[in-house]
A and B are shown apart, each in its own frame.
Chain A
Amino acid sequence: MSKVRVLVGTRKGAFILSSDGNRKKWDVSGPHFAGWETYHMKGSPTEPDRLYASQTTAWFGQIIQRSDDGGKTWETPGGEKMPDPYGPPAGVSNKFVYNTSPETGKPLTTHLWYDGTPRPWEFKRVWHLEPSLTDPDTVYAGVEDAALFRTTDGGKSWRELAGLRGHTSGQQWAPGAGGMCLHTIIIDPSNHHRMFVAISSAGTFRTDDDGTTWKPITRGLHSLYIPNPTAEVGHCVHRIAMHSARPRVLFMQKHWDVMRSDDAGESWREVSGNLPTDFGFPIQVHAHEPDTIYVIPIKSDSEHYPPEGKLRVYRSRTGGNEWEPLTKGLPQRNCYVNVLRDAMAVDSLDPCGVYFGTTGGQVYASADAGDNWAPIVRDLPSVLSVEVQALP
């Protein structure tokens, strides 16, 4: 029977939730990295026991952790003692240095601050780790201030893919309320030279040449909160999602609006339809039904909790526009938690499992594509991210 492993990052450490394919009884391990914020954990698609984790605090900065046994033990890549002081340095797994060299052709030193003044780029933390679809030692990291890094040695060292910030718009990017973070990385499974990223609040970008050059893909987005609502950059994209069998179709949860693209991001149309509010953070696609998508509506940008105090996942089986609330097993009164952008995931079992974590520390699971829900755990620290692995 298959097994499921849910990787949960929280404000005060990481937790790993494990179950068999029935997804009814769960073992909980953790906290790993107790006391540290764990923004994200994710496993390699090719070696599922190879996990990567982003661990951070305001005091001691960024740490990258790696496990080769499914999270039982962890190490900082390259953290072993150097053989001799004059030999080559060991890895520097937490060294994220922006590339300002002339090689990019456009060395960047500043972006815009909230008040419109130039501000130096400053690394703060890794928001998202996206392992390669083919190589367990290659991982992409989305960081704040917004940039994309890549390791090809299992996390020992990282180099920026500077063409993204080197886009002509880079000096005009500005942070959103949560900072200027690159939070979404999607690798096209049908074309490994193509990737999509999303940045708050620059927008979303696509590369077709392995990250060397990038183009904004925002035509059709309309954001009333920026000076030019249809500008090429400046949209606060919260999350994008793709089904691996249909990589030209993208779904987006924007600051406001749920959007869909059928041409790899070249153009977007709104599919918010009958949602009670189209503000929210996460969006996910069913593992086996490319037109079934999930969002969790939040009341507004100033009130980050579910409308009416009812925690409802909304599912569309039509690729948007027509939405149904999923409520069985979820609190339908006095619920005022939020669900952050990286805190919803689906597994690949049949029926598809859906999972999400809340800022109140609950992790909910549905083993039947969202029809019924139950909490796996109720009292974790505030949940920052949820990923899931289906294991043989």
Chain B
Amino acid sequence: MIRVVLPAHLRTLARVQGEVKLNLEGQVTQRSVLDVLEFHYPMLRGTIRDHVTHQRRPMVRFFACQEDVSLEPPDALLPDAVATGAEPFLIVGAIAGG
């Protein structure tokens, strides 16, 4: 069981409260987590990563185990604590503006 924390605007869009829990078979990477997240919540497609290139949107960041993993390759393995559900995978809207 993977736990994903969405930013408030995307929780509203996906009509969820609190964490999202996802079953994921195979390797736990940014790509596989986002694939299964978008499968269950199609309205999130295009809001976290580009529809075509799958590149992370510029003002979205990913955190795992208190580390910013946004710049890690999308197929890099996420920490075991995320893969086991001990820690959540956080999708964060970057703090920007004045």
**Interface on A for B, CB 8 Å cutoff?**
34-36, 57-63, 76, 78-82, 85, 89-92, 94-95, 97
With contacts A61-B57, A80-B42, A82-B42 taken as known, whether A94 is within 8 angstroms of B9 at the C-beta atoms is no
Contact across chains for B45 and A92 when beta carbons are under 8 A apart: yes
B76 within 8 A of A: no
- Sample of 20 A–B contacts (CB below 8 Å): A57-B9, A58-B59, A58-B96, A59-B57, A59-B94, A60-B7, A60-B9, A60-B13, A60-B47, A60-B57, A60-B93, A63-B13, A63-B47, A76-B13, A79-B43, A82-B39, A85-B39, A92-B45, A95-B51, A97-B52
Say yes or no for B46: interface residue by CB 8 A criterion.
yes
User: Does B10 interact with chain A (Cβ within 8 Å)?
Assistant: yes
What number of B residues sit within 8 Å (CB to CB) of A?
23
B residues with CB within 8 A of A: 7-10, 12-13, 39-43, 45-48, 51-52, 57, 59-60, 93-94, 96
A60 touches B45 (CB 8 A): no
B91 to chain A, nearest CB (A): 10
Check if A94 sits within 8 Å of B42, measured CB to CB: no
Q: How far is the CA of A95 from the CA of B12 in the complex (A)?
A: 20
Q: For residue B40, which residues in chain A have a CB less than 8 angstroms away from its CB?
A: 81
Pick the contact of B59 from A59, A92, A94, A97 — CB < 8 Å?
A: A59
Contacts of B57 in A (CB 8 A): 59-61
Q: How far is the CA of A157 from the CA of B96 in the complex (A)?
A: 31
Contacts of A57 in B (CB 8 A): 9
Q: Taking A82-B39, A85-B39 as contacts, is the C-beta distance between A61 and B45 under 8 angstroms?
A: no
Q: Residues of A contacting B39 with CB < 8 Å?
A: 81-82, 85
Contacts of B93 in A (CB 8 A): 59-60
Question: Of A60, A95, A97, which is in contact with the most chain B CB atoms at under 10 Å from its CB?
Answer: A60
CA gap between A34 and B8 in the complex, in Å: 11
CB-based nearest B residue for A33: B12
Considering the chains assembled together, what is the distance between the CA atoms of A63 and B47 in angstroms? 8
Within the assembled complex, what's the spacing in Å between the Cα atoms of A46 and B42?
Answer: 29
Q: Which residues of B contact A36 (CB under 8 A)?
A: 9
When C-beta atoms are compared, the residue in chain B nearest to A95 turns out to be: B51
Are B42 and A60 in contact, with the CB atoms below 8 A? Answer: no
